[in-house]
Amino acid sequence: MKNSLATIFAILGTVIGSGFISGKEITVFFTRFGIFSFPCIFLSFFIFWGLFYLVLEKGSFALEKLKHSKFSFVISLVISTIFSSAMFAGTTNLLNFNNNFINFLIFGLILILCFIIYRKGIKFLNKLNYFLVPFMLIVLFIILTSNLSFEAITISKPSYGGLSFFYCLLYCLLNTSNGCVLIAKFSSSLTKRQKARVSFLSALVFMLILLFANVVLLKSSFDESMPLLSVLSGWQGAIMLVIIFIGCITTLFSLVFTSSFMMRGLCNNEFFVFFISLIVPLFCSLLGFNFIVTELYPISSILGAIILADLFFIPFFKRTDNKIHSSGKYTK
C-alpha cells in the first residue's frame, strides 16, 4: 500500500505542475476547442491509463536502456529542462510580493529544497510528496467544484474537431514523457496488480481535474498566463495562488531528481550535474512562463512521443559492439 501511494503521489506531483494547475496547459490542449474538449478529456483517461501502466510494466528495461542510449538521454534531458524552466518561470510569476526580501527568501528556500533533493534523491522527494500532493489535490477539487457552471458549456468557442483529438494525444504524451523516468523508478517495487491499480487511479484523478477545470476555464480568457486565477477572486483566488505555487514546486522537485538521476548515469562530475539539473533550467526560465507553455510544450509533446517509442515500444536496439535485450539486461 505504501509503495502504491508513493507512486501515485509521484505521478500526480510530477504532472500537476504550474502549466497544468494554473489552467494554461488545459486551455492550450483542451478548453480552446470548446465542446470538443469534453470527449477528448474522457479519451485522455484511457490514454493515460495505458501509458502509465506501460511505463510501470517496462520501467526496469527502459531505465537500463536509457543508460546506454545517448539519443534517449538527450531527448529526455531536453524535455526535463523545458518543464523545469516552466516551473521556475511559474514560480517567479507568483512571487509578486511588494517586499523583495520575502520574494528572495521564498525563492531561496525553493532552491535549497531542490539542492537537498539533488543530494538525497527519491527518499526525500517521497517525504515532500506525501505532505504536499494530497493537500494540493483536496483543496483544488474543493475550489473547482465550488465554481462549476455548466452554462459556460454553451458559450461559443473556437472548435476544430479532429485537431482537438490530436492535441489530446499530444497532451498525454507530453505529461507521460515528462514523468516517465521517475515513474519507471517505482516499477520494481510494485506487483503487476499494484501497477494496474496505480495506473487506473492516477489516470482517473487526472481526468476528474481536467473535466472540472475545463468547465471552469470556459469562462476564462485564453490569453491569460494563468487562466484559473483570472476566474477566481477574493479568498479563492488567494488560495488558488498557493495551490499553483505548490504545483510548481512539486513538479520542479521531481524534475530536479529526474535530471540529476539521468546525468549521474553518464557523468561523474557533480558540478556539471548540478549545473545541468538546476542552473540551465533557471536560465531558460527567462523565456517567460507564457512562451514556454504555449510554444515549447507542444514541441515537447512531439519529443515525448519519440522518447516513449524509443524506450518502451522498441524491444531492443543494437550498437557497434553492445546490445540491450528485451529482458532489460545490458551485455557486451
User: pLDDT band at 323, cuts 50/70/90?
Assistant: very low
Q: Are 264 and 273 in contact (CB under 8 A)?
A: yes
C-alpha cell read off for 257 = 531528481
111-155 tens-digit pLDDT = 888 888 888 777 788 888 888 888 988 998 998 888 877 665 655
pLDDT at 325: 46
Q: Which secondary-structure segment (H or E) carries 79?
A: helix 70-94
Strand partners, 330: 324
pLDDT at 200: 95
Of the chain, the percentage scoring pLDDT greater than 90 comes to 10
pLDDT at 22: 79
Q: Which fold has domain 2-314?
A: Amino acid/polyamine transporter I (1.20.1740)
Long-range CB contact pairs, 192-196, < 8 A, 24+: 192/57, 194/3, 194/4, 195/53, 195/56, 195/57, 196/53
Using left for φ > 0, alpha for ψ between -120 and 50, and beta otherwise, residue 7 falls in alpha
Long-range CB contact pairs, 262-268, < 8 A, 24+: 262/66, 262/73, 262/76, 262/77, 262/80, 262/181, 263/77, 265/66, 265/67, 265/73, 266/67, 266/73
Given a cut of 80, whether residue 186 has pLDDT beyond it is yes
Q: Are 293 and 178 in contact (CB under 8 A)?
A: no
